[in-house]
Amino acid sequence: MENKIVAIDGPAGSGKGTVAKILADKCGFVYIDTGAMYRAIAYLTLKNNIDLSDEDNIVKLAKESKIEFIDNKLYLNNIDVSKEIRTMEVTKIVSPISSIVCLREILVNMQRQMAESKDVIMEGRDITTVVFPNAKYKFYLDATLDERAKRRYKENISKGIDATFEEIKINIEKRDYNDTHKKVGALTRTSDSIYIDSTNLTIDEVVEKIYKIIKEEA
Ligand code: DC
């Protein structure tokens, strides 16, 4: 039987990560957080003191790296770096790193290989457009800017991260702009993706909606 690929796109704060993780557990699929892969390369770039402008060496690092997802953790060259890739230092440089076109090619290839023989739920900003435009299950998760900023604000408070609601809102707006204006892999809502506006839905309601569709068509 052919393996299944569920592709989820959406802007920052749309809940795609949380939803994808719960869905993967519920369906017994492998969860692939593609943002974490870009973060892994950003982490390696910092660790090796490579300048952000040194694209050749950043691409070389990616070519020589092994990235795996095991039990929802990211292993970089056999070491679990799930925590290290979430630091502020990594977050600051991951956007420019993810704009390096040759690096995107390498990571997109890795993502396609990861889904070759397993059922996967893959989440990121170019999954329905670039990585798996022909996936059977394509979803675009969305919510209003205000709601997405509210979610991030609450999340930050629970993690003890200090930022005002206005700061977060401006940051998300900026990320929306960057994500939709990337030269390659820009965030776009395709007409063949199922659109889910989660502004007034709980995480569980979104999970249920997607789960029903996957199960109905299975
Ligand atoms: O979702 P996140 O914050 O962990 O993503 C980290 C960065 O990687 C963010 O700047 C967007 C970028 N990204 C990307 O360009 N393509 C993807 N498929 C996933 C993330």
The 3-state DSSP class for residue 68 equals strand
Q: Could you tell me how many residues make up the chain?
A: 218
Q: What DSSP line would sit under 180-210, residue for residue? A: HT-SSS-----TTSEEEE-TT--HHHHHHHH
- The token pair at 116 is 């070759």
182 CA: nearest ligand 1 atom: 15
Indicate whether 38 belongs to any domain.
yes
Q: What is the pLDDT of residue 100?
A: 94
Looking up residue 135, the CATH number of its domain turns out to be 3.40.50.300
Structural contact between residues 153 and 165, judged by C-beta atoms closer than 8 angstroms: yes
Indicate whether 125 belongs to any domain.
yes
Question: What are the pLDDT tens digits along the chain (218 aa)?
Answer: 678 999 999 998 899 999 999 999 999 999 999 999 999 999 999 999 999 999 999 999 999 999 999 988 999 999 999 989 988 889 889 888 999 999 999 999 999 999 998 999 999 989 999 999 999 999 999 999 999 999 989 988 887 877 889 988 998 898 888 888 888 888 999 999 999 999 999 999 999 999 999 987 65
Indicate whether 214 belongs to any domain.
no
- The token pair at 179 is 């994500």
Q: Whose CA is nearest to atom 19 of ligand 1?
A: 35
Domain coverage including residue 128: 5-208
The 3-state DSSP class for residue 99 equals coil
d(CA 118, CA 2): 9
Indicate whether 215 belongs to any domain.
no
Handedness of CA 156, 160, 166, 168 (dihedral sign): negative
Domain count, the chain: 1
Indicate whether 179 belongs to any domain.
yes
d(CA 31, CA 141): 16
Indicate whether 213 belongs to any domain.
no
Handedness of CA 127, 69, 43, 36 (dihedral sign): positive
Indicate whether 203 belongs to any domain.
yes
Distance 37 CA to ligand 1 centre (A): 8
Distance 98 CA to ligand 1 centre (A): 7
The Cβ-side half-sphere exposure at 126, using a 13 Å CA radius, reads 23
Distance 28 CA to ligand 1 centre (A): 24
Indicate whether 160 belongs to any domain.
yes
Ligand 1 — pocket residues by CB below 6 A?
A: 34-36, 38-39, 94-95, 98, 124-126, 185
